[in-house]
Structure 1
Amino acid sequence: MRGIWGLALSVSALAIACPASAQTLREAMIEAYNENPQLTGERANLRAIDENVAIARSEGLPNIGVQGNYTEFVVQRQDAFLVPDRAVTANLNSSLPIFAGGRIKNSVRAAKTRVAAGRANLRNIEADVFTQVVAAFNDVLRDEAIVQLNQQNVRALETNFRASSDRFEVGDVTRTDVAQSEARLALARGELRRAEAQLITSRETYLQVVGSPPGVLTPPPPLPNLPTEPQVAVATALNNNPALEAAERAREAAGLDVRSARAERLPTLGLVGQGNYFNYLGSIDTSLIGTPIPQSGQAAQAGLSFTVPLYQGGRPAAQIRQAQAREGVAIEQVTATERQVIARVRSAYATWQSSLRLIEAAEAAVAANTLSLEGVRAENSVGNRTIIEILNAEQELLDAQVRLVTARRDAYVAGFALLAAMGRAEAQDLGLDGGPLYDPVANYETIDKAWNDWDSRPAARPVATRTVDAPAQTPAVAPPTDPQLQRPVDTDPANPSGDVKTPR
């Protein structure tokens, strides 16, 4: 897919002449991949999940601690001849579990399984972010085209209104014709304002998702490897969809939690050791008994600690039942996710296919309405058509052109959503080359065998870019470049040369 995607971008770049500052869909995806806060936040969340492995494994490692005390015996008993006035004591305690009924082993396995689920969730977020980028990119292209069409329509209706006013002055049309032209022009100006507001919204959404304002956007490249049948798409999704993989991993981890809970009823065995030190700081008076008493000393013990739980008030059984219930939730979540993936794939496939048919229909409608408009103008010039029929033909052509650009947007977004649902819309699949890709395994390998209590990372810092300094977006657009969406502005059948008349 990487090669096909790159070839598609190269062909698109050669086929479409764009300014040097134009931004491609690939560039927008790279920027979002590196700086989208939803994605960078999920990476940080996965690093937190990685730490659960080290936390679970620490239960099976030695536990060593030192406790110290300094004591002043302020009031002594009258018969306490050998009690010191002060003392310093220190105790060294250590323990190492040897057998815990499988609780530690299953806890580590469950933590590792949840790491795999977290990686799948990261892939799913990545695909969702890319889908948002594709939608935002195509929304801007669509709304720019719609603004251009409405601007063109306003210019056409302004010319038509001026022509109608001129013809009214010479008695060629009635006041009603002029009023109809004026009313349609007012409505067109209102639609232009609405289209401009929608364009601003789409550009602000693009800024939110990508992290920088959209410049001149190039048409996106063709989508690669789209399926020919919905069954093929569903089969691919069931094998590759990251959300489904995450749910399956969560189910496995829940099963390991049940095993870990069962271990709470089993015996435990461990090594224990203890060392003691005392120092009375010369505060014992030995003159009363005439025998030297040691003022300091040490001792050490080592052995096995064996625990057999007999009754714990029903707590282990409750924990097992709770873990089993949560496993049931995880099992049902797999089914729910599977249903969601299947529905998403089939819906995206249907939307994609219907949008392709709509593109064909809209292209035919644009061609037919263009011909119809020309015919109505010509017939109006000989008195067979009225001004309102010209205005209606203008509106029908505009509607067909808007449907065409909307269908093109819908087809592309649905096609990419289909790839995402199939598990084929991640950075590796798309071959993004804006620097090294994020490797979730690298962080895991650094902490997998970590045992140092004093190990830490640098303080967390922002990764995603802020957009507070970005300027507010405007509805400014360049002239349209698609010939199929262009038409002559002049609508005066009495002025075939196209010269705009100035009203007297």
Structure 2
Amino acid sequence: MVVIAAMLYPGTARAENLTDAMVGAYNTSGLLEQNRALLRAADEDVAIAASTLRPVVDFIVAAQRDYSTTGSSSVAGVTTNTTSVTAQLGLDWLIWDNGARRLSLDAARETVLATRQSLVAVEQNILLRAVAAYFNVVLQSENVALQRNNLRLLGEELRAAQDRFDVGEVTRTDVALAESRVAATRSALSAALGGLSDARAEYANAVGRQPGQLVGRTSLPAGPRSLADAQALAVRSHPSILAAQHQVAAAELTVQQVAKSLGPSVTAGADVSSTESLSSSGYSNDATLSLTLTQRLYQGGGLNAQVRRAKASRDSVRANLLTVQRDVVQDVSDAFVRLQVARASLAASAEQVRAARVAFEGIREEATLGARTTLDVLSAEQELLDAQTAQISARAEESVAAYQLLSAQGLLTAEKLGLAVQIYDPTVYYNLAKDAPVKTSKQGRELDRVLKALGKK
């Protein structure tokens, strides 16, 4: 289990950390709710398949009125009316079909397992989006602070250049250069504020609320020892691969089910009816038992076409499994390399910031002694700003890359991260629905309560 710990800034109210953002995304995601509903629909497909193994009972009430006229060529016809009511109870039960419906039930179960894994994949995407939104707000906030600080420093440089111009130490050109750089920085600050506004909007969309004060630095999850280890873990546990494997299993069962359904089937039937005449005191009671063997011999080529279609669908999902496996392995490789590059970039940018700061402070000191021009100072300050911007970008990139690698391995879930949320248990609804309970049964009433709690009824 990966545990995410965040350091709070001392002396301030509790700030939001990355865990808070992911909890918010998990609890408020409409996409998660949509896919949970799709999973419940797949659960009901199991119930529907299970119901086909049971008898079908119909109750029929029919009222009938007969008109009859009798007569001859010499005698006028006499019309009689007869009214009767029939109540009938009929039962049909497919008692043998060579196992076709049982295979259909097994295929529905595999589809449920595939849909569960698809739900996990959606959960990973939602959490990764929250991670990216979180660190983008942090990045843009730091960029705004950096531009504001740079604007303050340039304002000081402008005032110093103006003072030196007043005493004749520099020319008007030096003052104009300082004014130009201040104007450019104001423009950069406006762009940074726009970027922060966009980042906050994306955060609100991904997490479900506007960001507060965010903790800038969090401890990152421990990465794999090697790329090979990461790829091996992903092949074993990534939800997209597991979903594709269950889809293949369902397709295999469907091929068998279609082939079996072309064979003979045996159906038992029972009908009990009572007919009472309302025009007289007559009545009749009837009962019928039947056992029917059915074998379809010809359907214009449609029978074999159904088998071929099922096999083609199976071949399609088999190919998809191979594609998904390759994509997952590549995603792991891309995320692993991205993280390594981000870490190298962060280390290099830290050294760049250190060197640029030393250079800037030295050039500014030399400028006070007349050994450097205002342009030299402004150039050194811009280089320091560029280095600091690269550093905060590299820090955000490292953080996002670490969680992207976690997602690529199939480990970015609320359960594996240990998030303080009510984990959605897909087995609760499935266990209630899988046996197709009737509404009046105890299990059916429990299922109704679950639906009511979900706000779906």
TM-score by length of 1: 0.84
Residues 282-324 of structure 1 show CA distances to partners (whole Å, capped at 9, x for unaligned) of: x25xxxxxxxxx6112111112121011112211211111111
Task: Tell me whether 1:58 sits opposite 2:58 in the alignment.
Answer: no
Residue number in structure 2 paired with 1:101: 98
Q: What is the CA distance between 1:59 and its match in structure 2?
A: 1.1
**Matches of residues 110-121 of structure 1 in structure 2 within 5 Å?**
110-121=107-118
Residue number in structure 2 paired with 1:362: 349
Provide the secondary structure at the position in 1 that maps to 2:92: strand
Correspondence for 2:130 among 126, 130, 133: 133
RMSD across aligned positions (CA):
2.0
CA distance in 1, matches of 2:148, 2:257: 68
Correspondence for 1:182 among 165, 179, 182: 179
Contact 2:68/2:81, CA 8 A, preserved across alignment: no
**Matches of residues 295-306 of structure 1 in structure 2 within 5 Å?**
295-306=282-293
Distance 1:263 1:175, change over 3 A: same
CA distance in 1, matches of 2:339, 2:322: 26
Report the residue type matching 1:240 in the other structure.
S
**Matches of residues 230-269 of structure 1 in structure 2 within 5 Å?**
230-269=227-266
**Matches of residues 329-340 of structure 1 in structure 2 within 5 Å?**
329-340=316-327
Residue number in structure 1 paired with 2:426: 440
Provide the secondary structure at the position in 2 that maps to 1:85: strand
Residue number in structure 2 paired with 1:287: none
Task: Tell me whether 1:408 sits opposite 2:395 in the alignment.
Answer: yes
Provide the secondary structure at the position in 1 that maps to 2:62: strand
Residue number in structure 2 paired with 1:86: 83
CA distance in 2, matches of 1:76, 1:168: 127
Task: Tell me whether 1:270 sits opposite 2:267 in the alignment.
Answer: yes
Residues 119-172 of structure 1 show CA distances to partners (whole Å, capped at 9, x for unaligned) of: 111111111111111111111111100000001111111221122122222221
Identity over aligned pairs, percent: 33
Contact 1:32/1:209, CA 8 A, preserved across alignment: yes
Aligned residues: 444
Distance 1:111 1:220, change over 3 A: farther
CA distance in 2, matches of 1:84, 1:100: 46
**Matches of residues 2-401 of structure 1 in structure 2 within 5 Å?**
2=2, 5=3, 8-9=5-6, 12-13=7-8, 16-17=9-10, 19-74=12-67, 76-78=69-71, 84-281=81-278, 283-284=279-280, 295-401=282-388
In structure 1, the gaps of 5 or more residues are 285-293, 463-504
Residues 190-210 of structure 1 show CA distances to partners (whole Å, capped at 9, x for unaligned) of: 110111111111111110011
Distance 1:165 1:20, change over 3 A: same
**Matches of residues 418-437 of structure 1 in structure 2 within 5 Å?**
418-434=405-421, 436-437=422-423
CA distance in 1, matches of 2:264, 2:412: 50
Contact 1:84/1:280, CA 8 A, preserved across alignment: no
Q: What is the CA distance between 1:67 and its match in structure 2?
A: 1.9
Contact 1:258/1:323, CA 8 A, preserved across alignment: yes
Contact 1:254/1:330, CA 8 A, preserved across alignment: yes
Contact 1:264/1:316, CA 8 A, preserved across alignment: no
Provide the secondary structure at the position in 1 that maps to 2:370: coil
Q: What is the CA distance between 1:45 and its match in structure 2?
A: 1.4
Distance 1:81 1:232, change over 3 A: farther
Contact 2:241/2:325, CA 8 A, preserved across alignment: yes
Distance 1:388 1:122, change over 3 A: same
CA distance in 1, matches of 2:301, 2:79: 49
Contact 1:276/1:298, CA 8 A, preserved across alignment: yes
Distance 1:198 1:18, change over 3 A: farther
CA distance in 2, matches of 1:327, 1:84: 62
Residues 217-257 of structure 1 show CA distances to partners (whole Å, capped at 9, x for unaligned) of: 11353223311211111011001100111011111111111
Distance 1:275 1:353, change over 3 A: same
Q: What is the CA distance between 1:330 and its match in structure 2?
A: 0.3
Residue number in structure 2 paired with 1:289: none
CA distance in 1, matches of 2:217, 2:46: 43
Provide the secondary structure at the position in 1 that maps to 2:189: helix
Report the residue type matching 2:231 in the other structure.
V
CA distance in 2, matches of 1:373, 1:77: 121
In structure 2, the gaps of 5 or more residues are none
Report the residue type matching 2:392 in the other structure.
V
Report the residue type matching 1:351 in the other structure.
R
Q: What is the CA distance between 1:81 and its match in structure 2?
A: 9.3
Distance 1:196 1:77, change over 3 A: farther
Q: What is the CA distance between 1:263 and its match in structure 2?
A: 2.0
Report the residue type matching 2:433 in the other structure.
I
Report the residue type matching 2:167 in the other structure.
V
CA distance in 1, matches of 2:130, 2:206: 6
Q: What is the CA distance between 1:64 and its match in structure 2?
A: 0.5
Q: What is the CA distance between 1:86 and its match in structure 2?
A: 1.3
Distance 1:94 1:81, change over 3 A: farther
Report the residue type matching 1:47 in the other structure.
R
TM-score by length of 2: 0.93
Contact 2:51/2:436, CA 8 A, preserved across alignment: no
Residues 305-353 of structure 1 show CA distances to partners (whole Å, capped at 9, x for unaligned) of: 2101111221121111111111111011111111111111010110100
CA distance in 2, matches of 1:169, 1:52: 85
CA distance in 1, matches of 2:303, 2:180: 79
Contact 1:25/1:220, CA 8 A, preserved across alignment: no
